[in-house]
Amino acid sequence: MAPETTWLLLRVAGLVALAALTLAVASGLAGPAVRAPAWRGVLVAVHQAAALVGLSLTVGHVALAVTDPWVDVGDAAAIVPGASTWEPWWVGVGAVAVDLLLVVAVTSALRGRGPRLWWGLHVLTYPAWLLATGHALAIGTDARRAPYLVAGAAGLALVAAAGAVWVR
């Protein structure tokens, strides 16, 4: 694959992963506030689908990052914070987000065996999402462009609104 293609796919996978994870977090927060069973079922389905898409694209984003010939991220940096020689702090922030998402994914897959453990660890999604958002806004090559900033602000607002509904 041409280096330009890898770089483009890396960016797109990261951006769409973050958008899907934002939808997963927002729908997960808002779901319990919905009383109508049919609509709650819709929100649960959206939550699960968005989480699966977001996690899948995150795996793709990481795989592309460690194979990108333009920057030296390295295999270990995918899960070990600070292991990257390129932008070690912000790649490390992304690695912590990935680690937390993996914990949530594994416990979600085993939810039936330990619902209390799943529920207790599922809240790791919130710091994972915040770290992923910070990673994107700090290290993304388009992070200073207006559409990117507007999308980031919209994602933050969506999750904040869903959180307000949940608290209410």
Distance CA 100, CA 97 (A): 5
pLDDT single digits (tens) 91-145: 999 999 999 999 999 999 888 888 888 888 998 999 999 999 999 989 877 777 7
Predicted structure pTM score: 0.89
Count of alpha carbons within 13 Å of 78, Cβ hemisphere only? 15
pLDDT single digits (tens) 66-78: 998 888 888 999 9
Number of C-beta neighbours around residue 113 at 10 A: 9
Helix, strand, coil percent values for the chain (each to nearest 5): 80, 0, 20
Lowest pLDDT segment from 33-42, 61-70, 87-96, 137-146: 137-146
